[in-house]
């Protein structure tokens, strides 16, 4: 099955990417920092730039965005996808509503945790109404430690991430969605999610829980055996090993990843990694 991930980047944008050069929109008029956005500088060329100052959405506009998520879900299904995943992580729009760092609103979408989760809740329900709850997932990136590696695209470190994301999971469980996708920190020597958080998530959310973020077969097996997760994603390892399931099953050695060719746009580092050949 293939699910389309629905994004809205919110404040992580630039006026050159907006209709008529308008300001990006966000829960509050707070500029994104420690992140760059890619803008076009000419035909076929571009550069990284600082995000533009956003403007705060009106309450009516927030409701319009909820409806746009439903439209996006409908378009995805008409295009042939099997379901949709709401991107509520990595410092983008839904994450901006959830976070106390980026949501300074004083209407029904700001203030208390329940209010800050309202946009997530309403957008998810709107998508469910279009595609059905069994075809909806949500992605979170619940960071627990602030380090020099924390950047907006990795998510926003809440004062109390345990309470924030367990409550979010509880509300999504009430809506009956199919799964949660948990993106863990994936840089070198990154801290793992606390075991008590993973246990609380498991007890709170009754659907499928999927984890990803520099996972190894050993770590995934350990999490599975502990009953903390149901599915595990392998990103960089899969790039370098097109036959990764067979390599894991037979304990074959892995190809090393060539970081220099990642996202290069050509076949090198994309389609030229070899499958395993026994001697």
The answer to whether residue 92 is catalytic is yes
Q: Select which of 92, 109, 165, 273 is catalytic.
A: 92
Distance CA 34, CA 49 (A): 11
Residues designated as active site: 92
């Amino acid at each position: 099955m293939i699910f389309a991930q629905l994004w809205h980047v919110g404040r992580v944008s630039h006026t050159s990417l907006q209709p008529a050069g308008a300001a990006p929109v966000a829960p509050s008029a707070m500029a994104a920092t420690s992140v760059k956005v890619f803008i076009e500088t000419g035909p076929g060329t571009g550069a990284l730039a600082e995000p533009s100052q956003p403007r705060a959405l009106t309450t009516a506009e927030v409701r319009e965005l909820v409806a746009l998520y439903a439209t996006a879900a409908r378009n995805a299904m008409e295009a042939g996808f099997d379901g949709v995943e709401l991107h509520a992580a990595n410092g983008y729009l839904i994450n901006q509503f959830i976070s106390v760092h980026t949501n300074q609103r004083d209407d029904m979408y700001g203030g208390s945790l329940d209010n800050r989760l309202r946009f997530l809740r309403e957008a998810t329900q709107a998508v469910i109404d279009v595609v059905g709850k069994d075809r909806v997932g949500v992605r979170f990136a619940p960071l627990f430690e602030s380090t020099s590696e924390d950047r907006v695209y990795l998510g926003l470190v809440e004062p109390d991430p345990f309470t924030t994301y367990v409550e979010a999971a509880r509300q999504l469980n009430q809506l009956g969605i199919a799964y949660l996708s948990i993106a863990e920190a994936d840089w070198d020597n990154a801290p793992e999610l606390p075991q008590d958080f993973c246990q609380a998530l498991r007890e709170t959310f009754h659907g499928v829980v999927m984890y990803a973020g520099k996972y190894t077969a050993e770590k995934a097996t350990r999490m599975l055996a502990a009953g903390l997760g149901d599915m595990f994603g392998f990103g960089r390892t899969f790039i370098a090993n097109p036959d990764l399931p067979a390599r894991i099953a037979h304990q074959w050695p892995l190809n090393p990843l060539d970081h220099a060719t990642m996202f290069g746009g050509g076949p090198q580092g994309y389609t030229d990694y070899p499958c395993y050949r026994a001697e």
